[in-house]
Each structure stands twice: as structure tokens, then as C-alpha cells.
Amino acid sequence: MKKIFFYILISILITNCSLNKVSNTHGVKLLEGKAKKIIVGKSNKNDILSLFGPPSVKSTFDNNLWFYIERKKKSKSIFMLGAKKTVDNNVLALKINDRGILSEKDFFTIDDMQKINFDKSNTLKSYDKNSYLFNVLTSLREKINSPTRKKKK
């Protein structure tokens, strides 16, 4: 009886294990393939909304600049204990003119984002210990850190 129970338990454990890596996709799935379906100068807002849905992000400065994002992560290995690796990180930037027609389309992949150069210089502080701003900030800090007085009843 114990052997049968043991075999059933082992078979349940083995059948539930999977060697396939788990992948998590966030945003619009298959973004690159869908991006090829829209045509600059012909596609309009309705075509874009029916194909992609609402944009992931709209520009705060220009409402006619829409961004669609796709991020796909896969687990590295069993030994890494749940650590994930980014496989795809795609961004589609769409510029729509005043008439609602697509005027520009830019597609960025994870490799394009690796090529972006950032400025590595440091910003210097613009105040010293004798400046008015330093004195104001110091007095505010002292007032905040000072113990509160108990009120007399």
C-alpha cells in the first residue's frame, strides 16, 4: 500500500513539473508584426486603435504622439531562483497629424536602446556655506529636527 501511494505521489510531482521557461509579456503582444500593418500617410486613429487598442502612453506635451510598449521577460534557469532576463523591449512611437492620419512611425528595439549615449558629467552644486539659500535650508532643517515643546494645559 505504501509503494502505491509513493508511486502516485512521484507521478503527480513529475507530471506537474515543466522544463519550459516561463515568459511574461507586458504591453501589446507581437508589436513588431502589428507595426508593419500600419502605413504612414494612410492609416488613421481608428485603424491604430482597432489594431493596438489604447496607447500605453500619450505624450504630455503633444496629445498626437502615442507610444506602444512591449516587454517580454523569461526566467533564466531553475538555479537562479526566479531571476528574469529581458528578451524583448520594443517601443513603437506614432505621430498623428491634426487630421487624424499617421504622419510618422518609429520602432525601437532593445538593441536601439543600448546605443543611447547618456551624459556622464556631474552637476555641481550652486550654493556654498555662506549663501542665503544654505542658511534658509539649514534653519528649516533645524526647525524640523528640533523637539516639539509640550503645550501647557
Alpha-carbon distance of 6 to 4, in angstroms, equals 5
In this prediction, residue 103 carries a pLDDT of 95
Residue 19 domain-assigned (yes or no): no
Residue 32 domain-assigned (yes or no): yes
Flag whether pLDDT at 148 surpasses 90.
Answer: no
Residue 53 domain-assigned (yes or no): yes
State the sign of the Cα–Cα–Cα–Cα dihedral 6, 8, 14, 16: negative
Flag whether pLDDT at 22 surpasses 70.
Answer: no
Q: pLDDT-based confidence at 152, cuts 50/70/90?
A: low
Average pLDDT over all residues of the chain? 82
In this prediction, residue 20 carries a pLDDT of 63
Per-residue DSSP letter, 54: S
In this prediction, residue 122 carries a pLDDT of 82
Residue 56 domain-assigned (yes or no): yes
Predicted structure pTM score: 0.62
In the chain, the number of structural domains is 1
Q: How many C-alpha atoms does 28 have within 13 Å on its Cβ side?
A: 23
Flag whether pLDDT at 55 surpasses 90.
Answer: yes
Nearest Cα to 45, choosing from 67, 64, 68?
64
For residue 81, the cross-strand partners are none
Lowest mean pLDDT among 3-7, 17-21, 72-76, 112-116: 17-21
Domain that holds residue 82: 27-116
Backbone angles phi, psi at 47, to 5 degrees: -60, -45
Residue 35 domain-assigned (yes or no): yes
For residue 102, the cross-strand partners are 96
Flag whether pLDDT at 54 surpasses 60.
Answer: yes
The secondary structure element, H or E, covering residue 113 is helix 110-114
Alpha-carbon distance of 3 to 7, in angstroms, equals 6
CB of 59 within 8 A of CB of 69?
Answer: no
- Provide the grid cell at 149: 515643546
For residue 90, the cross-strand partners are 70
Residue 69 domain-assigned (yes or no): yes
Flag whether pLDDT at 14 surpasses 60.
Answer: yes
